[in-house]
């Protein structure tokens, strides 16, 4: 019986990597993975043009690094400036996972995914209440509600 050999073309692999990175960006909202995704799509174009694998990797690195270094901050500032939530400061929320002191985690807040940092000295346990002390960019700074 013949063994079925699966081989993926570099083009397909770059496209899959780009899609996975875009999904990761939607979950993390870090404005970092989007540039890795764009680099993957650019590498897919290089693969389609029959460029050697080394050049494909170089295209990925150049597009990703240039994007992060030149576009990440301006895009973050422009998008996050429009998300002004001063009315959320002081609000109480239930955390959906344990938040260790001074560690960043991803939580749900008002139906969206947010980065959150516990600025307290003790753990904020899953299911307990926390207070939004301030918002820095797309990160909620939380303190345990006493």
Report residue 66 as tokens: 């240039």
Q: What is the pLDDT of residue 146?
A: 81
Domain boundary among 59, 82, 105: 82
In sequence order, which residues have a C-beta less than 8 Å from that of residue 123 and are 6 or more positions away? Answer: 98, 99, 100, 101
Q: What is the pLDDT of residues 20-72, one digit of tens each?
A: 999 998 887 778 899 999 999 999 999 999 999 999 999 999 999 999 999 88
Count up the domains in the chain and report the number. Answer: 2
In a domain, 90, yes or no: yes
When pLDDT is cut at 50, 70 and 90, the band that residue 83 belongs to is low
pLDDT digits (tens, 9 = 90+) for 123-139: 999 999 999 998 887 78
Residue carrying the six token digits 């904020």: 124
Q: In the numeric block, which tokens belong to residue 77?
A: 């500032």
Is 16 found in the same domain as 75? yes
More confident residue, 114 or 28: 114
Residues 17 and 77 in one domain: yes
Residues 76-101: what's their mean pLDDT?
77
Bridge partners for 141 per DSSP = 117, 134
Give yes or no for residue 1 having a pLDDT over 80: no
Using an 8 Å Cβ cutoff, are 22 and 40 in contact?
Answer: no
4 occurs within a structural domain: no
């Amino acid at each position: 019986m013949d063994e079925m050999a699966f081989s993926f073309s570099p083009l397909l692999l770059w496209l899959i990597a780009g899609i996975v990175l875009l999904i990761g960006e939607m979950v993390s909202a870090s404005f970092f993975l989007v540039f890795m995704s764009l680099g993957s799509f650019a590498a897919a174009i290089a693969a389609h043009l029959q460029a050697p694998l080394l050049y494909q990797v170089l295209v990925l690195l150049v597009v990703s690094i240039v994007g992060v270094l030149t576009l990440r901050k301006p895009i973050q500032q422009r998008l996050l400036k429009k998300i002004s939530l001063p009315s959320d400061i002081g609000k109480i929320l239930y955390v959906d996972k344990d938040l260790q002191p001074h560690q960043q985690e991803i939580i749900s807040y008002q139906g969206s995914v947010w980065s959150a940092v516990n600025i307290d000295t003790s753990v904020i346990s899953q299911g307990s209440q926390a207070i939004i002390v301030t918002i820095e960019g797309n990160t909620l700074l939380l303190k345990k509600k006493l």
